[in-house]
């Protein structure tokens, strides 16, 4: 199975990053890890989103940007494709959001990870998968 990571930055390897957890949220909501998703479209949103909060509804396939005026549909977004079988099981950490396991993401407890390939897309492609609200 493939897992994906979306970014505005082109690099050879994915590296551990500290995730943002809003104030008052448990520390497991903001891990220092490599975040991946089995959902290509969610990876695309993750790499394409503008500054500010982005709310993604996976069931309704909608997105809400706090700052939609800062969204650049022509910006390059890099999708890193990773083979999940290359990640040791003991390094996969469930992502907890609002006290529940988030099945749309997985955190990987590795310092770096080399993708199988990197694909270049345009940020505006998110609207093929999600409706902005």
Which tens digit of pLDDT belongs to each residue from 83-108?
999 999 999 998 887 788 889 999 99
pLDDT, residue 21, reads 63
pLDDT, residue 95, reads 87
pLDDT, residue 11, reads 95
Local confidence band at 65 (pLDDT 50, 70, 90 cut-offs): very high
Q: 97 lies in which domain range? A: 2-132
Q: Which residue has the tokens 């969204």?
A: 71
Q: What is the pLDDT of residues 8-61, one digit of tens each?
A: 999 999 999 887 766 666 666 678 899 999 999 999 999 999 999 899 999 999
pLDDT, residue 27, reads 61
**78 touches 9 (CB < 8 A):** yes
Query: From CA 100, how far away is CA 115, in angstroms rounded?
Result: 28
pLDDT, residue 89, reads 95
Taking Cα atoms as reference points, which of 25, 65, 40, 66 lies closest to residue 129?
Answer: 40
Question: What's the structural domain count of the chain?
Answer: 1
């Amino acid at each position: 199975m493939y897992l994906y990571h979306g970014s505005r930055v082109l690099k050879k390897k994915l590296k551990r990053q500290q995730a943002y957890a809003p104030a008052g949220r448990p520390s497991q909501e903001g891990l220092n890890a490599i975040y991946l998703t089995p959902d290509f479209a969610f990876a695309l949103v993750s790499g394409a989103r503008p500054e500010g909060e982005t709310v993604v509804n996976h069931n309704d396939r909608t997105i809400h940007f706090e700052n939609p005026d800062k969204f650049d549909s022509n910006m390059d977004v890099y999708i890193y494709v990773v083979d999940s079988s290359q990640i040791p099981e003991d390094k996969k950490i469930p992502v907890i959001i609002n006290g529940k396991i988030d099945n749309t993401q997985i955190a990987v407890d590795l310092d770096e990870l080399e993708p199988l390939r990197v694909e270049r897309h345009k940020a505006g492609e998110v609207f093929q998968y999600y409706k902005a609200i």
